[in-house]
Structure 1
Amino acid sequence: MRWVCAAAVVLAGCSATQDASPSGQVQRPEYLGVRTELLDGDLVNFKVALRGTDTPEAVEKYAECAAAQYALIRGYGFARLVRTNVTEEGGTWAADAVYTISPDLPRGLVTIDAVVTVADCGASGIPTV
């Protein structure tokens, strides 16, 4: 998916579009699974991978979706990103992401509301845990 932005004098907007392959067909990511590891109490590591995209944003979003679902499974409503390392090899993107999960909105800049995020992931076709 790539973001296409258009600006006018009074109005500006962005929309998400699927990249088309050379044959004109829309490319959809192939989600290759999630590995979850509880590191310590509320600190959780998510390793996810996918193919079929040209940019790292899709794999980062996949990790976020997994973290949101995991938080809900554990009875929590929020997660906060600690760090994400992304790699690409042979067309496969991988993310190694660490999140904290919590029942209350955590401090920090990159926090997610688990209920809202899981709903958004479902609507976008991104699998969760």
Structure 2
Amino acid sequence: MRMSVVIPVLALAACAEPPARDEVPFTPEYLGVDTGLLDGDLVRFDVAMTGARDGQDVDDYAECAAAQYALIRGYGFARHLRTNIEEKGGVWRADAVYTISPSLPQGLKTIDAEIVVQNCAENGIPTV
């Protein structure tokens, strides 16, 4: 008899929707950026943070670093090539690679560095 009560409760718990991203607590602590020039305009960004809601938060941190780096180098644009994200023990890490360029590069994942840096400042995300 007790079994018939437990099974429906477990079934309902399994069907529950996860909370919306904006409902998850967000208390970021940005742990720093390591930048490495790979070749010419190809740059790697290793970033780490705690308090992320998901991988998007650490990906945003890497994008902010890439945008600021492009501006520091006198370029106005960047193009995202790839990002590897991992979470271990509450620390989120991203290893991202971007190209930087003075003009808008071809491709779908391009960023205007000035606009991205401004958005990062408005959202409290540090840059390089």
- Normalising to structure 1: TM-score of the pair? 0.81
Partner Cα separation in structure 1 for residue 65 and residue 94 of structure 2: 11
Q: Secondary structure at the match of 1:81?
A: strand
Partner Cα separation in structure 1 for residue 97 and residue 88 of structure 2: 21
The runs of at least 4 consecutive aligned structure 1 residues that moved more than 4 Å come to none
Q: Is the 8 A contact 1:18 1:28 kept in 2?
A: no
Alpha-carbon deviations, 1:17-50, whole Å to 9, x = none? 3633xxxxxx321000000000000000000000
1:57 maps to amino acid: Q
Match of 1:115 in 2: 114
Match of 2:24 in 1: 19
Aligned pairs for 1:82-101 (under 5 A) are 82-101=81-100
Match of 1:126 in 2: 125
Q: Decide whether aligned partners of structure 1 residues 121 and 18 sit closer, same or farther in structure 2, where only a CA change above 3 A counts.
A: farther
Q: Which structure dedicates a bigger proportion of its chain to strand? A: 1
Q: Secondary structure at the match of 1:28?
A: coil
Match of 2:76 in 1: 77
Partner Cα separation in structure 2 for residue 121 and residue 75 of structure 1: 19
Aligned pairs for 1:42-81 (under 5 A) are 42-81=41-80
Identity of aligned residues (%): 63
Partner Cα separation in structure 2 for residue 116 and residue 53 of structure 1: 23
Report the number of matched residues.
110
Partner Cα separation in structure 2 for residue 126 and residue 53 of structure 1: 12
Greater CA radius of gyration, 1 or 2? 2
* Residue ranges of structure 1 left out of the alignment (5+ in a row): 5-15, 21-26
* Residue ranges of structure 2 left out of the alignment (5+ in a row): 1-18
Q: Which structure dedicates a bigger proportion of its chain to helix? A: 2
2:24 maps to amino acid: D
